[in-house]
Amino acid sequence: MSSWRRPLVTALFGPTGVGKTAVALELADLLRERGEDPVAVSCDSLQVYRGLGRLTGAVTDAERARLEHRLVGVVPVEESFSIREYMPMAHAEIDAALEAGRRPIVLGGTGLYLRAALAELSLNKVEPGEESELWSADTRRPTAILALTMEREELYRRIDARVDAIVAAGAEEEVRAAAETAGRTARKALGFRELLDGDIEGMKRRSRNYARRQMTWLRKLPDVVTLDVTRRTPLQTAQDIVPTLAAREAP
């Protein structure tokens, strides 16, 4: 077992294309060297769907072999799914990991799902002008939130390359196969509509716009440790994270 006596729930958040999964894999390796048993809990609103793995950039079998991932590909593509279903599932996964002595790594880029995984949200609509509980610093469990950022031009370049890789991996065929049965929420997946129309440039543009909104969102997160990963390898970033966690967990 690790010498760290109170492991934190560890959340890795950041825009699409920033390399969250690669950092999580390297971090998991480093944690295991210290005697820990990490498990990833996805907070991606669309990677929950089974049958859209290529489109959503869900973890591969090889990546799952390096780090167990929960709440990925667990919902049939024809079913509707929302934060109301997600929140109790995420809480159960995090609690089960902690009870088993494992470190949950909450991983993804959907802001509201991140907060739902980490906190008890009422899910009531917030009236205009009111402060949303989304920005509350309260979490269910002691938590370290780590936000990955990157210089905008480099991030956009990576996003465009990521879209090209997704298409090359067969995402267009995947979307067309799912089109007849996909439910309303699955159809909201980034690029679903664009790939049905063969509009790859439109998918790139929409992805860049989404990343910009994610970057705006993460700047509002309370008590967050921001890591600029521009021109840094996933291993270098993971090596920066380990002492940050150790310092927060020190008795």
- Overall fold of domain 9-242: Rossmann fold (3.40.50)
Calculate the CA dihedral of residues 55, 61, 63, 65 and round it to 10 degrees. Answer: 160
**pLDDT value of residue 138:** 81
* Position 127 confidence tier, pLDDT thresholds 50, 70, 90: very low
Residue 125 confidence (pLDDT): 57
The whole-model pTM stands at: 0.91
State the SS3 of the chain. Answer: CCCCCCCCEEEEECCCCCCHHHHHHHHHHHHHHCCCCEEEEECCCCCCEECCHHHHCCCCHHHHHHCCEECCCCEECCCCCCHHHHHHHHHHHHHHHHHCCCEEEEEECCHHHHHHHHCCCCCCCCCCCCCCHHHCCCCCCCEEEEEEECCHHHHHHHHHHHHHHHHHCCHHHHHHHHCCCCCCCHHHCCCHHHHHCCCHHHHHHHHHHHHHHHHHHHCCCCCEEEEECCCCCHHHHHHHHHHHHHHHHCC
Confidence of residue 251 (pLDDT cuts 50, 70, 90): low
Asked if residues 26 and 107 have their Cβ atoms less than 8 Å apart, the reply is no
What is d(CA 231, CA 172) in angstroms, rounded to the nearest whole number? 31
**Average of per-residue pLDDT across 119-127:** 70
| % of the chain exceeding 70 in pLDDT | 91
pLDDT tens, position by position, 184-195: 999 999 999 999
Is 89 in contact with 101 (CB distance < 8 Å)? no
The whole-number pLDDT of residue 121 equals 83
The per-residue pLDDT for range 52-108, each reduced to its tens digit, is 999 999 999 999 999 999 999 999 999 999 999 999 999 999 999 999 999 999 999
Which range (95-109, 121-135, 144-158, 229-243) has the least confidence?
A: 121-135
Predicted confidence (pLDDT) per residue in 198-215, tens digit: 999 999 999 999 999 999
Q: What is the mean pLDDT of the chain?
A: 90
Structure confidence at residue 2 (pLDDT): 40
Q: Where are the domains of the chain?
A: 9-242
pLDDT of 131 strictly over 60: no
Whether residue 132 has pLDDT greater than 60: no
The pLDDT value recorded for residue 128 is 42
- Residue 142: partners with Cβ closer than 8 Å, 6 or more residues away: 6, 8, 9
